[in-house]
Amino acid sequence: MQACFKEACRGTGDDIWAVCDRKFTKQVSSETKHLKVGFYREYFSAMVRLTDKKMDEVVRSICGADVISLVNKIKGKENVSEFKLAEILKEDIKKVRNTLYRLYGANLVEFTRKKDKKKGWYIYYWTFKQEHIKYLYKKMKLEELDKLKSQVNGETGQQYFICVNNCVRMDFEQAVNLEYRCPECGELAAQEQKEKKVENTAQKIALLKKEIKSLT
Ligand SMILES: [Zn+2]
């Protein structure tokens, strides 16, 4: 289903949501409706499951892309020895520990330690806090929602003018000062059709809210 929407995005410069919203808004045919329902159903069930891809997205946004290979080795397991991890990843123990401390700082892993009787030092065993990811994912989505909301507030309060050649986007004051002429090419600027944009954002907000609700 997603592939179908991706296909619709090809060459248009739109992201999947823009296409999705367009299909949603137009409601041209029952076929489109069917597509829409199918797409959203798949989308939300994926949300609730919180796929590996989504988990990676959260981890990457918090700790950086370089922790992913280690996370993949401890995901779904319990009490993995840091020496074992270094061995599997073929990395220096110091580097592995450094990564683990970063994950610990972000509250993404926990550990227990046991004393090695022969050597006399402690060995740390690590567990990935999978259930915490859901909370962090929700937090991320709430921030996204806030951003969209303030975007709508900004858009509805302002009127913008766009050059017919798409060079610039000016607010009302700028447009008046320039006598509605584009400072780049000199062509007349037209009033932006903001309704569509606001509608798209509103649609995204509705989806996000639904998604966030499904995560509680
Ligand atoms: Zn222009």
3-state secondary structure the chain: CHHHHHHHHCCCCCCHHHHHHHHHHHCCCHHHHHHHHHHHHHHHHHHHHCCHHHHHHHHHHHHCHHHHHHHHHHCCCCCEEHHHHHHHHCCCHHHHHHHHHHHHHCCCEEEEEEECCCCCCEEEEEEECHHHHHHHHHHHHHHHHHHHHHHHHHHHHCCEEEECCCCCEEEHHHHHHCCCECCCCCCEEEECCHHHHHHHHHHHHHHHHHHHHHCC
Full-model pTM: 0.53
Residue 154 Cα to ligand 1 midpoint, Å, equals: 24
Averaged pLDDT, 15-28: 46
Residue 20 Cα to ligand 1 midpoint, Å, equals: 30
Residue 23 Cα to ligand 1 midpoint, Å, equals: 30
Residue 13 Cα to ligand 1 midpoint, Å, equals: 20
* Predicted confidence (pLDDT) per residue in 140-195, tens digit: 889 999 998 888 777 666 788 999 999 999 988 899 899 999 999 999 999 887 77
* Predicted confidence (pLDDT) per residue in 68-84, tens digit: 999 999 998 999 999 99
pLDDT at 45 exceeding the cut of 60: no
Residue 179 Cα to ligand 1 midpoint, Å, equals: 13
Residue 12 Cα to ligand 1 midpoint, Å, equals: 21
Residue 202 Cα to ligand 1 midpoint, Å, equals: 29
